[in-house]
Each structure stands twice: as structure tokens, then as C-alpha cells.
A and B are shown apart, each in its own frame.
Chain A
Amino acid sequence: MTVTKTNPKFNPVHLELIKNAIGSVVDEMVLTVVRTAYSSIMKDTMDLSSAFCDRQGRMIAQGLSLPLHLGSIPDAMDKVLEHFGDDFVAGDVVILNDPYVAGGMHLPDIFMFMPVFRDNYLLGFVVLVAHFNDMGGRVPGSSAADSTEIFQEGLRIPIVKLYEKGKRNDMLLRIIRLNVRVPDIVEGDLDAQYAACRIGERGIQELADKYGIDMLKEYFDELLNYSERAARNTILSIPDGTYKFEDFLDDDGVNMGMPIPIRVRVEVTHDEILFDFEGSSKQVQGAINCTMSFVKSSVYFALRSVMSSDAPNNSGFFRPVTVKAELGSILNPRAPGACAARGVTGFRVIDAITGALSFAVPKRIRAPGEGGVTSYSISGYDIDGRFNMFREAVMGNWGGGLNRDGLDGVANPAANVGNAPCEMVEKQSPLQVEKYELVTDSGGAGQWRGGLAVRRQLTYLGESATVQLRSDRRIHPPYGLYGGRSGAPSNNELVEQGNSEQLPTKFVRQIKKGQSICHTTAGSGGYGSPFERDPGLVLSDVVNDKVSREAAKEMYGVCLNGPPWSVDEPATENLRGTHEKEPN
């Protein structure tokens, strides 16, 4: 690893102090939302991000937050500056959500920008982007995969000021309230977002008071250079070359059975890197079109995962990285393409990049995890006509890597969100959780086993409700690497009185009292040949019911005696020998 010396003009101690201080401001913004938001998706799932951008709109620091928002803020910030120029005064607050005219990602994500002034000088903007429970549209939650144009997906907010000189634009708020199913929650969450921006504003102003505006500005530059150096060092550590990979989404939620290719060509030249998605699917009819800023986020995430430094996420980090996707493709759609469920496409972009990087830095990556968050909502109206909605995300596992097994029961690192406690679900919604468990034999076999699938089954106890669910990785399960096997495919079932019926990967449908939805995530990919796996580890997996005795023999070539279990060493050697270290 190359050590790049600090720019002698800057004191590395001040750099660290200012970096910590800005980091602490943006983290505090996230904490404020988590504590004061109303919706579970903000307060528990934490589907939100904060940032500080300087007056030129360059992102200087990003807060504790969702990795997949990494690249979205700079694009939206650019659009805001393009629109308003220098028409900002203290007390203004800008919001937006539209991906086509305003630089948003998908309609449920509202971006909020607050200019920060000190002594009438614009220091920059504090930014908070957060996922709202509902933005209107044809399906509750505004995230359905089967919409076919953005007009079905909810209220489109262009770049507008929600506050001018500290005064709220009530007309705008009334329009928003009328278009969403949960106006009080949406307003409460907007308040939380606003409170966070105020906290951020105060923090940045204090910094300006401490260091002075001029010095602060110089260190903003140096912080960008600092992250750029860290990114370039990382890219230097990847061997030069071109690495290609292709992965697939099962379908777009409308045209079932039509697989969607995601192709990536990664080109590493010295300390610069190109991600070109040429050859990926054209724009699709369903709502999994992925706006360019989200593709960038996915790219940055994948690159950060192989980086050893914890330099701040900022625009400097992005400088040596180029991302290309054709206009009119699924990764750079034209209006009015539907894009509410684009998350799944971002996950697949990451999986495709992981595949490509596996040729370049095989020791640093892991086989892909479950394929991303499965998200669903169950909503309806109670007897008083009051709308209620339960939503959650189900995950997850990590794939195997060199000298490390996959992990069972963890979030996808790109979307680090929590689960909902079963007891809270039952206390607050007309639902009963039937099971929440790991699935035996679902992890991709390998010298380093993939993580196990997660299964969650909920029974509806009310009269009737609309279920919207988005999953993937049934036809194209997470692949294995270097001889490792793919994970088990995902599945959705409707269960009623012991009978079960398979449901599509993505659907919107009604359910009645007593019916259950059972979702099983995919298992993750294995790494290395399963016949090379230490029989002791296979034994331990069988003892713990993570691998069955039969699979131990068939997939791993390990024969067991018992129970109580022990490895039948002669039989194992014999079996592994016959297969010449490769299972059929």
C-alpha cells in the first residue's frame, strides 16, 4: 500500500480535528431523526442519510447512514444549485423527491437541504434524505414493483422551498398531506428531518466560529483531497486490467419469467477505475428501473467494501471513479419510467461488480449475500376507516470468502436495516408471526460455506388487506465463487390451513383473515470447492442442523456416524477421493 504524504500546506492534526468535528455534526443529524421521527422506517429501519456539502455543492462528509445513499446526495445537490443559483437566505429549506427533474432516487425518498450561513456568508448545505412511509400512488407504501410509469407511484415533488426565511410554505405542506395515506406521520417525519437540519446548521456554524470561515474552507478542500488519496490508494492496490461479469434479476414484476441482465465491465488503470454497464438490459416496464445516482451509490459501495481506509465518504472519494450507463437502459432510465422498487436493481449492480472484482482481488471479496432486502407491506383500513400499514424488510446473510464462512442472520451490508421485533409486530398490527428462522441446507456449499436463508411467516388476523412484496433471486440465486455453490433460491408462499401456494417474486394482492405469507430469502454463495471443506466444520454444521446429514454427504463428501454425530473418516476419504475433490 502506498502512503501518500499529507499536503504540507495543511496540518494533519487540524485535518483530523476538523474531520472528526464535521463527522460528529452529520452523525448527530441522523441521531436526531432516529429519535424524533414517527415512522418505523425512519426510526427503527433507519432508511436515511445525512451530509454536509460546501457552498459549491461538494459533499464534504456523510453521516451514519444507509450505504446505498452514498452517491445520491451530490447529484441532487447539483440540481438544487442549478435551479436556485445563489438565491438562498438563512431559514430557507429546499425539498425534492422526483428522480427525473430534481435528482431524486425514487419518490418515497425526500431530500431536504438547508443552507448554512455565518456572518451572511454561505458556508454550505446540511442535507438529510429519508424514506417516507407513503407518498401516495396506486399501492400503499408507494414502492410497488408492478407500476409501469412514475405517475402511478405517488406525488412528484420538484425542487421547491418548504421554508422561506424560516417561514413554512403551508400550501406545499397541504398538497403533500392530501396526497399521502398517512398525512400525520409524513408531517411528523418532515418535522424530524427539519429538526435534524437545524441541529446540523448549528454544528457547522460552531465550527466556523472556532476555526474561522477561511480556514474551514481550506480544510474542506483538503478533506476532499484526503478521501481522494484514500480512494486512489485503494484502486492502486487492485491489479490493472479489465474485469467483466454478468448477473441477472429474475423479472421486472410485470413481465414474469423474463430475466434481466446486468452487465459490468470494470477497467482499472493505475489509480483510476471505470465501471461501464454497457450491455445491461434496456429500460423495463416494471418499477425496477434504477436512476443513475443510485447506480453510482451501488458502485461506490462496492468499491468501499474492498477499501481498507475509513476516510470519510465525500466527493473526493468519487473523483477517480467513472460510472457509465446508457440513457434508456435499466440503469439510466428515461421519464416516465417507473422506479419505486429500484432497490433490488442496485443490489444486483453490487453483486455484478463483486463478480467482476472476484477476478481482480479474490482474497478481499465474499460471494454475494441473499440478493438484498426483501421488502413488503401489509395495509388496509380498519373499521373506523383509518388507514394502517405494516412494513418491514427481511434479510439476510453474507457469502463465503477466503478463510471465512458466510454469516448467518445479518443485514445486507449495502442496506444495513434492522428487523421488527415479532412481539411488537403482534402488539401493534393484526398479525401473528408464525416463524422467524434460519433454513437448513440453504447456504451455498463451499470450502467456506455461504450464509443460511431466513424464513419469516406472518398470518393476517384482520378482515382483508393489500400485500405488496418485492423479492428476487429465485431463478438466479446468489452465485458461488471458485468452485463454491450458489445459495438456495428464494421463495414466497401463501399458506392457508396447512396448504401452500407459490406466489411470484414480486406481487401486489389481497389477503384475507387466516391467510399467511411465508417468505424465504435466498441463501448466499459458497467460496471454494465444498470437497475441500474441513470435515470438522461440516460436522459442526450438521450438529447444529445448519447442514443435513444427507447434504453433508452429497455436497461436501463428508460421511457422518450418529447421532451423536462424528465424522466417518475412511468413508469420507473414500468418497472425496472418488469424486476427485469435485462433487457432481
Chain B
Amino acid sequence: MKKSQTKPETMIPLPSGMRVGVDIGGTFTDLVFTNANLHLDKLKVPSTPDDYSRAIVSGIETYLSQKGINGGSIDEIVHATTVATNAILERKGARTGLITTKGFRDVLELRRIRIPFSYDLNWQKPAPLVDRFLRCEVSERVDAAGNISTLLDKSSLQDAIQRLRDASVTSVAVCLLHSYMNPSHEQEIGEIIRNELPEVYVSLSHEVLPEIKEFERTSTTVVNAYVAPLIGHYLDELRESLKRLSVSAPILVMQSNGGLIPSVTASKQPVTIIESGPAAGVIAAAEVARKGEYPNVITLDMGGTTAKASIIEQGEILRAGEYEVGSPVSVSSRLVRGSGYLLRIPVVDISEVGAGGGSIAQVDTAGAVRVGPHSAGADPGPACYGFGNQYPTVTDANLVLGYLNPDSLAGGALKIHPSLAEMAVSEHIAKPTGLDVLEAAHGVYKIANSNMIRAIKSVSVERGRDPAEFVLMAFGGAGPLHACDVARSLNIKTVIVPPAPGLSSAFGLLEAQVEHHTIRSVVMPTDKLQIPLLQSVFEQMRIEVITRAKQEGFDESTVHCSAFMDIRYLGQSSEITIPLTRLAIDQKLITETTASFEKEFERTYGYRGSSTVFEIVNCRMLARVSRGVAHDYAWDYQDIDPAENNRTRKIVIDPRAGPINTKIVTRTQLGAEPLSGPIVVEEYDSTTLVPPDWAVHIGKNWNMIIKLEVA
């Protein structure tokens, strides 16, 4: 596809020396460094929300000087950023205009009409990212078959351009009806705007998302336009600052689908890199799973404000077709949209619930104990931090139960106060319910777990997958404390805690591959199959992704394409993405593919449809670029966990039984021989609870494997 803003680039060399993975979180920026010996180093530095790139640059500078090496030895920087997400949440994106077909300027604001909550008259609808007066209509029309029924009226376009010029917009989205069928009017408008408003960034909907459904396409294109100037600026700045450290390595950016793109492409198509941190965590899990020979994994990533679940099946990450940025966290938000800004792009399918370490527990007015979705966040944080929050959080409950080190967290970096945690649980949970403090804390622990179970079910059971056939991989600071109890409720018998569980996202960045995804809507019933049309659609897409990869400096021979179709029973609306076994399209392949669809449908929904006619809704192409990157990194564990001996602590597994004396160990004190629980494993960035009935040992690559000993 033609992109007038593309400039040819130099070839990206295959990385052989040091690589850096950088994940920016709300509180900390995590950096993981690799060197030629395939060993990993890590660094946590405070995030710098006024300009996130500062923390990256200072982190890299610190590491380079610690190790006495120069910036030139860094070969690649892989980055997940929240810059775009924050721009949307804080409404700090570009002043954006929208050009659309006459009669449809309100599509962006009318959305899908549906509201996210049924009984909340206080709900505030998110304001559209483009104000109504900057949504301009042009007279033109393309029909559903792609024929032009009304020619583009240039004078209405001139009026629109004048209006946008007067308003000094810096970014323009163009989304016309049925442009996914025939983009010529959008292309024409794009060229005219680029001539008349050369400083303005232009996003054309058929380039961002050539897919049917005008609201979804408009919303996605508008978000792209809204964040593009900012992302471009941010990445340019980052590149410049790194150059001052003599780091001139290419920067790759994580997308929300789990693939990487070069920063130059990210600047053009930033919509794909929004909320990419969580995706990186899942990539890490997929790699750990691959090396550990566990093909089927459910991930549980528990951080400060939320817990996230996703699923890896036969080594493949499952993806979803859309999500909303800025919507409050809840399982039902996966079904009922409308509380955020819709993005229709492939994303790692992640279900999120408000059950993080900072999630607040309370008793509601009718007497039930609730956990989340409100969170004390990182500041003031849990009551035990002593920064002023009086309400008990999940972390406070864990501390009362003895699961956490009573002196400090984060390897001593954060002093904590168990008495404040106990007071919070006592005052706000135990007293109003008549439970004792231990029962109350244990209740909070169990309810947080039940929220996580709901998140896991929504990525597994709701897709027809039985969690019992998976292992649970827990990471994030708090995940490993809750994993065994969650696993047991879901009949999962194996829990894996990867090394450095608090740094999984940063590590995952180093494991990800460069990926390009593209899509075309065809909406073709199989009783009216047009094989030549399908052939040409797939060939066009193949050329498109290869051209993109070449423009980014990759060699064509390193690009591997795989094709997919979104298929449904004719008349239904739930399409399933099915991989094609080859790129050469013929009748036989379609028959095989619809057979796979039926198999997958039955697996997901428990029955086969009565229709024998299918509909091919979208064609998809995924290009993976292999950069020859090594994937056999090892953590140098001795550096992380200086062993201490013979520590014990009283912890509470069953409040009726009271506290029991429990061994506290570090990962390095564990071995290949299974050790029966109860055991608490303390690490720099995470704590793992091995309850009674479970036994822990160290497997390959420093993974902690915890298995249920009794049924």
C-alpha cells in the first residue's frame, strides 16, 4: 500500500550483541539487558510521568556506567510504552479533525449506542476525541459493492479543509462509507489534504483498518490520528536522547497484538501500540511455556491495580479482534462496550479484573465483603505503606495473613507497617461483619481470588476451554501469592512461577518478534464463492506486508507470511479466525478451512450449526520477520537472591486452624527435589505461596514448578 509519508530506511542489522527490553509502568520502569553470553541483567528505576523517556535514558545510562561499557554495544532496544494510552486517558492528544461522508458526521459520537451499565444514571459518556464542529462532511458516496454512486464534491472538501485550517488542527482522520471496498475517494482526499495542509498528519481509514463497520473503522482511525503526532515526537526524542549516550541501535515497539514493529512504523500506525505492556507479559509466558514444554498455559499477571488473565494454546497466544482503551476494568466490559474508546485491531486476548495488590476491600451497605474495582494505586498505596490510605487492600490482607515479609517489600526498598494493615482490616472488614481479623483478611484473599477466577473463566470457559487442561503461570508482583488457590478452584494441578516474575513484561519484549497484520473485508458466502477474487485479495495483502517489511529495512527472505480467514455460519455474527494451511487458494482449501471452522465452532460452543453455508467475512495476513535473535537467555540467579538460612514465619492458611509455622526460602534454596508446602518463597520483586498439599521444585531455566500433591 502506498504511504506518502514513508521514507526509505537503512537496513536493520541483525542483533548480535546487547539487547534491552524496557517496560514503562505507572510507578517503575523495568529494564532487562542481555549480553552476548545470553545472560540477563535487570534494573528497576522510578518512572518519570512528565516525560517517560527520561527514565529509559537514565536507566540505560546507569547500566552502561555500572558495567563500564559504551552505548555502541547495544544492538537493539525493545520498548512497550503507555504514552499513547495516557494521551487518551488525559485527553492530551493532537487537535484532530475528521472528514466523513455527508449524513454521517455523528457516527463517531453515536457509536454503537449501547451503554456499559444499566442502572447508573450518573454515568458519563466519554467525550468524542473529535469535537462535532471538527467533524466535516463531504458530498460523495461509495455503495456497498464498492461502486461510486456520487462523485466526490471538491467544493465541499475545500470547505472542510478551510474549517480544519481555521481551527489549526494538527492531525486529520478521513473515514468514508465503504472505503474498505473502494478507497479511491479517501486516497483523493488524502492527497489534497497533504498538499493543502502539509504540516498535518493524515490517517486514512482504509489504511488503518480496511474493514466493514463504519463506527469501528472511524473510531480506530480517529484514535490513530489523535495519538500519532505525540507518538512520533516521543519516539524521535527518545532516539535523540539515546544518541547522546552513543546508542544508535534501532528501537522496536511492542504492539497490543504481541508483535513488534520498528519505531518508524509505530510513528505512522500508533494505534497498534496502545496498551502494549500487558501483551509483553503474555509473550514472556509463551516463551517460558515453549522452553518448559508446557504448550497449554493460562497466564495470571497480578499487578498493583488489576489482575489479567490470558490463554496460550499449543504455544499460540489467543487473540481478540477489538478492545476499548480507557474503559474501567471488569469482565462484563468484554461484552458490553461503550465505556472507553473502541479500537478494532488484533490484540492479545486479555481479561482484566480489579483485583491487584492495591485493590480496596470494603463491606457494602447490605453486608457483603467486596474487593475492587477501586484501588489505592501506587500512591498512597496499601494501608501498610503508611502513606495515608486507611482502607484495607489485598496487599494488607496478605500481610495480615503472614504471606508477605513484615519488614519490607521490593527487596528492602519499601518499608512497611503490619500494624497499619491489621488496623485497616480490623476497622473496615472485621468489625462491620463480626468476623475476626484473620477470618476477615482471609476472606479478602479469597474474594480477590474469586475475581481472578472470573477473569480466567472469561478467557477459557467462555471459549469452550477447560482450565483443568492448562497449567497456570503466575507473574507480576502479587500473582504468585494467589496462584495455587486460584488454580485449585479451577482444577488446575500445576502452577509455574517464572524467574523474575515482576519483570515478565520487560523480559517478554526481548522474546517478541516483528509482526505485521493486515486485513480485508470480503463478506462472501461460500455458495457464491469467488476464488479468483480471494486469490487476488491474499496476493495483494502479501505484497503489502512484504513491502512494509522491506520499507522498514528487513530482507524479504526473512519475512514469513501466514493467512487466516474470519468465518461464520451464514446468518450468524460470531466469526472465528481460522488459519489457512497454505497461501494458494483453491476450492479444496476453502473446504478444508470451513471444516476446521466447524470443528473449532463445536469446540467453543458445544454444537455444530445446522447451516451448511458459511460466510467468509475477513481475510487476514500475518507477516513475521525473523531477525535471528537468540531466545535462550538465562537468569543469573545467584546475583538476584543472596540466600539466607533457616527463616520461618507464622502464616494463616485456614483461619480456623490459626497461624502455622512456615519455612521462608529464596528461589536459590530450592532444588530439583519437590519440597512440600507450606512454604513461602521470597524474592526481590515477588512472593510465592506454596500451600499445604502442594510441592515446589525448580525446573528448567529457574522456573518454579508447584504441583498439587493430593487430588
Complex CA distance for A184 and B433, rounded to whole angstroms: 54
**Which of B144, B609, B610 is the most central at the interface, judged by chain A CB atoms within 10 Å of its CB?**
B144
Please tell me if A130 contacts chain B, counting CB pairs below 8 Å.
Answer: no
Complex CA distance for A230 and B336, rounded to whole angstroms: 25
Whether the pair B462, A31 counts as a contact (CB closer than 8 A) is: yes
Q: Which residues of B contact A31 (CB under 8 A)?
A: 335, 462
Whether the pair A409, B110 counts as a contact (CB closer than 8 A) is: yes
Complex CA distance for A447 and B114, rounded to whole angstroms: 26
Give a binary string over B634-656; 1 marks a CB under 8 Å from any A CB, 0 the rest.
Answer: 00000000000000000000000
Whether the pair A545, B133 counts as a contact (CB closer than 8 A) is: yes
Given the contacts A17-B447, A418-B113, A229 and B366 also touching, CB distance less than 8 Å: yes
Complex CA distance for A34 and B114, rounded to whole angstroms: 15
Q: Which residues of A contact B432 (CB under 8 A)?
A: 3, 5
Whether the pair B118, A191 counts as a contact (CB closer than 8 A) is: no
Please tell me if A578 contacts chain B, counting CB pairs below 8 Å.
Answer: no
Write the chain B residue with the least CB distance to A184: B610
Given the contacts A226-B367, A427-B144, A411 and B332 also touching, CB distance less than 8 Å: no
Q: Which residues of B contact A411 (CB under 8 A)?
A: 113-115
Segment 293-329 of A: residues with Cβ below 8 Å from B? 301, 304-311
Whether the pair A417, B113 counts as a contact (CB closer than 8 A) is: yes
Q: Which residues of A contact B303 (CB under 8 A)?
A: none
Please tell me if B143 contacts chain A, counting CB pairs below 8 Å.
Answer: yes
Taking a contact as CB atoms closer than 8 A, the residue among A233, A396, A417 that contacts B366 in the complex is A233
Segment 390-447 of B: residues with Cβ below 8 Å from A? 432-435, 439, 442-443, 446-447
Taking a contact as CB atoms closer than 8 A, the residue among A11, A16, A32, A437 that contacts B106 in the complex is A437
Taking a contact as CB atoms closer than 8 A, the residue among A307, A408, A426, A438 that contacts B119 in the complex is A307
Tell me the minimal C-beta distance from A314 to chain B in angstroms.
12
Write the chain A residue with the least CB distance to B336: A64
Whether the pair B434, A5 counts as a contact (CB closer than 8 A) is: yes
Whether the pair B106, A409 counts as a contact (CB closer than 8 A) is: yes
Please tell me if B122 contacts chain A, counting CB pairs below 8 Å.
Answer: yes
Segment 370-408 of A: residues with Cβ below 8 Å from B? 395-396, 398, 401, 404, 407-408
Write the chain A residue with the least CB distance to B451: A20
Complex CA distance for A227 and B368, rounded to whole angstroms: 10
Write the chain A residue with the least CB distance to B212: A423
Q: Is the interface of A mostly helix, strand, loop or mixed?
A: mixed
Please tell me if B186 contacts chain A, counting CB pairs below 8 Å.
Answer: no
Q: Which residues of B contact A2 (CB under 8 A)?
A: 365
Q: Which residues of A contact B447 (CB under 8 A)?
A: 13, 16-17, 20
Tell me the minimal C-beta distance from A52 to chain B in angstroms.
16
Tell me the minimal C-beta distance from B150 to chain A in angstroms.
11
Given the contacts A31-B462, A35-B605, A410 and B144 also touching, CB distance less than 8 Å: no
Complex CA distance for A398 and B122, rounded to whole angstroms: 11
Write the chain B residue with the least CB distance to A44: B573
Taking a contact as CB atoms closer than 8 A, the residue among B111, B121, B131, B216 that contacts A413 in the complex is B121
Please tell me if A436 contacts chain B, counting CB pairs below 8 Å.
Answer: yes
Taking a contact as CB atoms closer than 8 A, the residue among A43, A419, A546 that contacts B574 in the complex is A43
Complex CA distance for A395 and B338, rounded to whole angstroms: 15
Whether the pair A304, B119 counts as a contact (CB closer than 8 A) is: yes
Count contacts on A: residues with CB < 8 A to the other chain.
Answer: 93
Write the chain B residue with the least CB distance to A67: B118
Please tell me if B214 contacts chain A, counting CB pairs below 8 Å.
Answer: yes
Tell me the minimal C-beta distance from A31 to chain B in angstroms.
6
Complex CA distance for A188 and B612, rounded to whole angstroms: 13
Whether the pair A421, B215 counts as a contact (CB closer than 8 A) is: yes
**Which of B119, B124, B604 is the most central at the interface, judged by chain A CB atoms within 10 Å of its CB?**
B119
Write the chain A residue with the least CB distance to B104: A436
Complex CA distance for A545 and B132, rounded to whole angstroms: 7
Whether the pair B133, A543 counts as a contact (CB closer than 8 A) is: yes
Whether the pair A12, B104 counts as a contact (CB closer than 8 A) is: no
Complex CA distance for A30 and B121, rounded to whole angstroms: 24
Give a binary string over B92-117; 1 marks a CB under 8 Å from any A CB, 0 the rest.
Answer: 00000000001111110111111100
Taking a contact as CB atoms closer than 8 A, the residue among B115, B121, B573, B611 that contacts A366 in the complex is B121
Please tell me if B523 contacts chain A, counting CB pairs below 8 Å.
Answer: yes
Whether the pair B369, A13 counts as a contact (CB closer than 8 A) is: yes
Please tell me if A37 contacts chain B, counting CB pairs below 8 Å.
Answer: yes
Whether the pair A36, B367 counts as a contact (CB closer than 8 A) is: no
Whether the pair B332, A64 counts as a contact (CB closer than 8 A) is: yes
Given the contacts A16-B369, A31-B462, A43-B572, A198 and B606 also touching, CB distance less than 8 Å: yes
Give a binary string over A183-224; 1 marks a CB under 8 Å from any B CB, 0 the rest.
Answer: 011011001000100110000000000000000000000000
Please tell me if B527 contacts chain A, counting CB pairs below 8 Å.
Answer: no
Tell me the minimal C-beta distance from A45 to chain B in angstroms.
9
Tell me the minimal C-beta distance from A497 to chain B in angstroms.
16
Tell me the minimal C-beta distance from A210 to chain B in angstroms.
8
Write the chain A residue with the least CB distance to B125: A407
Complex CA distance for A454 and B215, rounded to whole angstroms: 16
Taking a contact as CB atoms closer than 8 A, the residue among B113, B443, B454, B457 that contacts A409 in the complex is B113
Kindly specify which of A21-29, A101-109, A156-164, A481-489 makes contact with the partner chain.
A21-29
Complex CA distance for A567 and B629, rounded to whole angstroms: 62
Please tell me if A1 contacts chain B, counting CB pairs below 8 Å.
Answer: yes
Tell me the minimal C-beta distance from B628 to chain A in angstroms.
41
Tell me the minimal C-beta distance from A340 to chain B in angstroms.
23
Whether the pair B133, A185 counts as a contact (CB closer than 8 A) is: no
Segment 121-180 of B: residues with Cβ below 8 Å from A? 121-122, 124-125, 131-133, 143-144, 166, 177-178
Whether the pair B110, A35 counts as a contact (CB closer than 8 A) is: no
Please tell me if A416 contacts chain B, counting CB pairs below 8 Å.
Answer: yes
Given the contacts A31-B462, A195-B605, A432 and B118 also touching, CB distance less than 8 Å: no
Please tell me if A435 contacts chain B, counting CB pairs below 8 Å.
Answer: yes
Q: Which residues of B contact A426 (CB under 8 A)?
A: 143-144, 178
Tell me the minimal C-beta distance from B399 to chain A in angstroms.
18
Please tell me if B370 contacts chain A, counting CB pairs below 8 Å.
Answer: yes
Tell me the minimal C-beta distance from B657 to chain A in angstroms.
16
Taking a contact as CB atoms closer than 8 A, the residue among B106, B109, B332, B435 that contacts A27 in the complex is B332
Given the contacts A4-B365, A409-B113, A546 and B106 also touching, CB distance less than 8 Å: no
Give a binary string over B220-240; 1 marks a CB under 8 Å from any A CB, 0 the rest.
Answer: 000000000000000000000
Complex CA distance for A452 and B607, rounded to whole angstroms: 44
Segment 328-363 of B: residues with Cβ below 8 Å from A? 331-332, 335-336, 338, 363
Tell me the minimal C-beta distance from A347 to chain B in angstroms.
15
Complex CA distance for A546 and B24, rounded to whole angstroms: 41
Complex CA distance for A416 and B336, rounded to whole angstroms: 10
Please tell me if A424 contacts chain B, counting CB pairs below 8 Å.
Answer: yes
Complex CA distance for A238 and B676, rounded to whole angstroms: 57
Complex CA distance for A17 and B486, rounded to whole angstroms: 13
Tell me the minimal C-beta distance from A230 to chain B in angstroms.
4
Tell me the minimal C-beta distance from A330 to chain B in angstroms.
25
Please tell me if B364 contacts chain A, counting CB pairs below 8 Å.
Answer: yes
Write the chain A residue with the least CB distance to B570: A38
Please tell me if B532 contacts chain A, counting CB pairs below 8 Å.
Answer: no
Complex CA distance for A381 and B544, rounded to whole angstroms: 42
Complex CA distance for A79 and B429, rounded to whole angstroms: 42
Whether the pair A418, B112 counts as a contact (CB closer than 8 A) is: yes
Write the chain B residue with the least CB distance to A365: B121
Q: Which residues of A contact B132 (CB under 8 A)?
A: 438, 544-546
Taking a contact as CB atoms closer than 8 A, the residue among B104, B119, B121, B133 that contacts A401 in the complex is B121
Whether the pair B109, A409 counts as a contact (CB closer than 8 A) is: yes
Please tell me if A6 contacts chain B, counting CB pairs below 8 Å.
Answer: yes
Tell me the minimal C-beta distance from B252 to chain A in angstroms.
35
Please tell me if A422 contacts chain B, counting CB pairs below 8 Å.
Answer: yes
Q: Which residues of B contact A416 (CB under 8 A)?
A: 114-115, 118, 336
A-B contact sample (8 more), CB < 8 A, given A413-B115, A423-B177? A11-B435, A37-B572, A229-B366, A230-B366, A308-B365, A416-B115, A416-B118, A424-B213
6 contacts between A and B (CB under 8 A): A17-B450, A24-B457, A404-B124, A424-B212, A426-B178, A437-B104
Q: Which 4 A-B pairs have the closest CB atoms?
A: A13-B443, A435-B103, A6-B367, A544-B132
B residues with CB within 8 A of A = 102-107, 109-115, 118-119, 121-122, 124-125, 131-133, 143-144, 166, 177-178, 212-216, 331-332, 335-336, 338, 363-370, 432-435, 439, 442-443, 446-447, 450-451, 454, 457, 461-462, 523, 569, 571-574, 604-607, 609-611
